[in-house]
Amino acid sequence: MRILIVEDEKKVAGFIKKGLEEETYAVDVAYDGEEGFHLADMNQYDMIILDLMLPKMDGLEVLTRLRDKKVSTPILLLTAKDAVEDKVTGLNKGADDYLTKPFAFSELLARIRSLLRRGQAETQTELKVGDLCLDMVSHKVSRNGEEIELTGKEYSLLEYFMRNEGKVLTRTMIAEHVWDYNFDTFTNVIDVYVNHLRKKIDKKYPAKLLHTLRGVGYVMRV
């Protein structure tokens, strides 16, 4: 899952980014409204966390422009404005949720998870491909009942593959969803991580799930 934070307070943005990356999300940050609008318009995000009081372009204008361009990504407004009319205005402009500062990170995380589930066809908490299981609540992974230890980035990569079972994923697609926009696409980091993941989920099992399509990308299938 890839999330965009649009927040001009760098300490707040850094706090949220660190917390979300620890939860295995890929996170981009913009420090003003213009940059935030540009990133949200040009990239595919699973969620946007948007401050209202921003330099260059305020949050309501960013929100309005994105909805006018038919960007349907869930947007959570994060702001010090706590008046009822401010909340009503934001929700009427197309926001999906509203959280006021100061806030507990646990509440922010719960709201993010709720919005992400709302955008899915069903509120599943577990992904399965064959005998491979990924629990999105506990972050535990197992195959044939045997638990598999993964790093945070390996977990994010596996979740992306499992959510897209049967679909061919190019290296560009993987970079955009599992890493942030500062990722150097000319390195072999993706191939290295895929190989690490393959050793953990496939090596000791006769049925291989993660396949390489040379010159194209990767696909997970039974």
Between CA 80 and CA 179 the distance in angstroms is 30
Q: Give the per-residue pLDDT at 24.
A: 81
CATH architecture type of domain 2-118 = 3-Layer(aba) Sandwich (3.40)
pLDDT digits (tens, 9 = 90+) for 93-108: 889 998 988 888 889 9
Fold of 126-220: Arc Repressor Mutant, subunit A (1.10.10)
Look up the pTM and report it: 0.66
- Cα–Cα distances (Å) from 180 to 6, 98, 138, 174, in that order, read 14, 25, 24, 10
Q: Give the per-residue pLDDT at 121.
A: 47
Please state the domain extents for the chain. 2-118, 126-220
pLDDT digits (tens, 9 = 90+) for 74-132: 999 988 877 778 778 888 888 999 898 888 888 999 899 888 877 554 446 789 999 99
Q: How many CB atoms lie within 10 A of CB 144?
A: 11
